[in-house]
Structure 1
Amino acid sequence: MGLVGADCNVSYDVQPEPKCISDCNRKAGQSMWRDWTDDPSSPNFIKSMGFMCERGTPNYMTFMTKGGECMMKCSKADQDTFTQTFGQICNFYNDYTKNPDCKGGP
């Protein structure tokens, strides 16, 4: 799904995360910013994904610590799926934020 304008050409084609993982991400994100969302149709989606994908930032460190502690309670299969989807999510985020035709691009 393209998020912005015809020239954006960046699609969010990421498999859904397991419920346990998405609940952990939502809990971690919303503890830091009440408008955090994993809904690609939300205007807050890109900023929310930055918490997960902007490595080395304070938001990233806090998000990953809080989310990771929660995810330890999820099944191994769910954790393995997250390992795969995490890369897809951050690849999308990086492509989107670097594309000048997308809202949020340089």
Structure 2
Amino acid sequence: MRFASAIVAAAAAAIASAQVVFPFAPEGPCVAACTDVAGKSFFPLYDDVDANGPFFFTSLSYTFERGTPMAIAFMTKAGTCMNDCPMDQQNAYRASYYPKYNWYQANKPAPLRRRA
């Protein structure tokens, strides 16, 4: 229930906030399909494409809340799928991971921030 509350709060924050600019290009259709299928298997409203959508930050949390059970399960499923993607897309995903991670950590709404 606590996670569901965080999802609702994050969605409300995203709707209430100014336009979000996610300054990263997609790594390719295969990688995008892998993250979408993996994400939707855990969260049917998963959407890591529409930066101004109500579930964008919640969706990114599956990738960038490192070490959490949901991130581990998501990354395992998405990563297994990505093994079949073209190498240039895999390399693009690896190269963009930390810049995206840093952007996510700096821009995620308060409900997704870890409490100390």
Q: TM-score, normalised by structure 2?
A: 0.75
Give the aligned CA root-mean-square deviation in angstroms.
1.8
Per the alignment, residue 12 of structure 1 pairs with 22
- Aligned partners of 1:30 and 1:24: how far apart in 2? 10
- Aligned partners of 2:91 and 2:39: how far apart in 1? 20
Per the alignment, residue 29 of structure 1 pairs with 39
1:41 to 52, 65, 70: 52
Of residues 13-22 and 65-74 in structure 1, the stretch that sits farther from structure 2 once superposed is 13-22
Percent sequence identity over aligned pairs: 31
In structure 1, the gaps of 5 or more residues are: 98-103
Are the equivalent residues in 1 in contact too, given 2:21–2:51 (CA < 8 A)? no
Matches within 5 A, 1:1-106: 4-5=17-18, 11-38=21-48, 39-97=50-108, 104-105=109-110
- Aligned partners of 2:79 and 2:104: how far apart in 1? 20
Q: Which runs of 4+ in 1 moved over 6 A?
A: none
- Aligned partners of 1:83 and 1:64: how far apart in 2? 12
Count of aligned pairs:
95
